[in-house]
Amino acid sequence: MDLKKLISGMWRYSCGLFTAMTATYALIVTIMTVNEDVYLSGERILMFFVFSVVFSIANTILKLTSINSAIRYILHFVAIGLDVYFCLLMPAGMTGSKVVVGIAFYSIGYLIIMAIRSLFRSKLKTNLEKTEEYKRQFKK
């Protein structure tokens, strides 16, 4: 795989995710704010950017076929877990048992999402393997 293409794709995905997260956050803050002053914390937006970049790097690692698939999934799980902890749980002020519950929810959510992803990928792979080119049986 071309390194330039890989990095370009990673940045596009990262920027798209950052834009979606920031827009969603801004919408929620706007809806929940009673007065006219809408304050979007620069620190929170910076954390969204860092989260997006690390998430994109983790997904790029998951796409690499040159690494063993078990290692890719482990690296993906750990990278996103650290991303969730440092960019979402710590800035939210979670400590002690709340962090454990947050990481437990992350782990369960990760397992569910990756199981669904695996089912779709295996179904897609099966459908692609079944598809064959049409071969004429009769001569014209």
Indicate whether 76 belongs to any domain.
yes
Indicate whether 139 belongs to any domain.
no
Indicate whether 140 belongs to any domain.
no
Indicate whether 85 belongs to any domain.
yes
Indicate whether 62 belongs to any domain.
yes
What span, in angstroms and rounded, lies between the C-alpha atoms of 102 and 106?
A: 6
What pLDDT was estimated at residue 103? Answer: 92
Low-confidence stretches of the chain (pLDDT beneath 50): none
What pLDDT was estimated at residue 36? Answer: 63
DSSP 91: T
Tokens of 91: 């800035």
Tokens of 70: 């078990």
Indicate whether 137 belongs to any domain.
no
For the chain, what is the domain count? 1
Q: Which structural domain, as residue segments, surrounds residue 17?
A: 3-130
C-alpha dist (Å) from residue 55 to 3, 52, 60, 125, 131: 18, 5, 9, 25, 34
Q: Percent of the chain, pLDDT > 70?
A: 91
Tokens of 108: 């369960």
What pLDDT was estimated at residue 13? Answer: 86
What span, in angstroms and rounded, lies between the C-alpha atoms of 104 and 81?
A: 10
Indicate whether 86 belongs to any domain.
yes
What pLDDT was estimated at residue 127? Answer: 77
Q: CB within 8 A of 73, min separation 6: which ones?
A: 62, 114
